[in-house]
Chains A and B, each alone.
Chain A
Amino acid sequence: MKTKKILTKILVALALTFMIPQLVFLYMWENLSTRSTFLLFGSTILLIGIGSYLIWDIVRSIRAVFRNIDEITKNELNEVVPVVSDELGMMGNSIEVISKKIVENMEDLQRSTALIEKTKKDLNDTLLYVESVMNSIGDALIVIDSEYKIKRINKTASALLKYNEDDLIGRTIDSLFEYLDENAFFKAEGVTGKRMTCITMENEKIPVDVNIQSLLDLIGTRIGHVLVVRDMRVTLDLISRLEAANTSLEVTVQKRTHELEERCQELKMKDAQILQQEKMASVGVLTAGIAHEINNPVGYISSNMEMLQDSLRDIISYTQLLEYGIDTLTKENDAERRVFEMNQIKQVQARMQIEKTFSESEKIMKESRQGLKRIKRIIHDLRMFSHSDENKMISTDLNQEIQNTLNIVAHELKSKAKLKTQFEFVPPLNCYPQQLNQVFMNLLINASHAVSEGDEIRIRTQYKDGQIYITIQDTGTGISPENLNKIFDPFFTTKPVGKGTGLGLYISYGIIEKHKGTLSVESTPGEGTIFTIKLPVAHSESMVHPALTIPAVR
């Protein structure tokens, strides 16, 4: 079809250009007129023209086809120009289709190439990544194949083993370890932290911990192993140093513990000493008062004894005088002499004032006996107060104990303030009376230090709700709020140096605590202070041993 079309075109063109004008010209040449000559000439020109056009058109089509082919060879496929619709045009169109197909294939090819390029790049990146990860691991990494030949290592591995990477690749793994348990490689779950010894190129033996894991391919076939080898030199060194330190620490701890125990013992002894000292200090406060109490009777008794001795001398002289008189009077018979002697004796007798001596002596005796009685009472009070022979719990009447304490401190108190007592019934308490007396004494002496002329010290005992209440109240100076918080602290004192130990209330607090009771204080500066001791009667059975324990600081 296409061939016919272009053949027709060629034939028509040839006819028009050569055959038809020639025939017309031959036919017309005979009867040629001028006018017809022109007409003929003109139509011939026209026909030639049309024929030429047809030839040019054919040439054009062929050219287009060639150009398209040329384009294809130049790879500029998009530039394909649509060709006219004769055979050449059809050819051109076929070429166009072909070229389009080529273009499509080429695009596919380009995409595939790009993908390949990208995959290649990704793979490279991944490899680099894996490599840098491997190299950044602080442990030596050795990859072996199923024949135990080294496939890959990281930098740490070559550094540890002192081999070049190239020297290691291909070697079997067992040349690198002193003893390699091959069974380890067959364990499915791998091996973790196995202590081994690896040998470097310089034949140095290095203790290492090795982790072994199987290397599997996609379908699960074992294609090798990965060994992670950790240099244990530093760790082992640290461990041995730690062990040494541990040992020395143990020794130190033992030593320290021993020291602490000793110190503890010392402290316990100190505590006991402090308690004893405080007791002695309060005793010291008392001694002066008691000394005065005893000094007075001792003073006048000893003075009186001297007087009595004089009296005795007088009485002896008087007796001698009487003896002399009786003697003389029995011997003397002369009445006048007897009267004279009698007068003499009577004169001496009168001078001696023996009656006065007698009455004086009796007075002296009476007063001295009073004094002795008082000394006895003071000593009795002291004994009652101190209970020095009993350091055990006894059932005690606290009213009596307070009275005993008052007898001792009375002298301290009476020169200062008025003393008021209100003793109500309290049941006997199972307690350490000596220790409670120490508390009463501390509180009373403190009160006496707080009061001045005209103040009062009131002592009251009460029993309610199973508790014995003892209040010791004074109308003295009172305690400032900031000091009130500290008065039960050890070594807190407001008294001048040497006057107070600062332990009295601290120890009192502990003693009351030991009796399961409480010691509390209320105070208003300028108005006075009340100390309240509360002692439970029921709990006194279960009391702790009086071992000298210092109470915890409040």
Chain B
Amino acid sequence: MSVKIVYFAWVRERIGKTEETLDPPAGIVTVADLAGWLAQRGEEYAYAFENPQIVRAAIDHEHVKPDTAIAGAREIAFFPPMTGG
């Protein structure tokens, strides 16, 4: 299942990419699985996800928890806690 993954703020800077389309293996079921799989992809990813409980996620523009299934997602986002307003 190929999915678009987008990154924001310091997650984006650490990974060095704004977005990419990846095809996670079948065993990657949840958002937490995906973050763990990404963290294995290289030093820049490991750095972005060094503190995985801090990194927030959204699926198709809605906030999700780490145990949310990624099946059917069109766009998954990873970003730091928000600081707008």
Bound pair (A, B): no
**B interface, CB within 8 angstroms of A:** none
**A interface, CB within 8 angstroms of B:** none
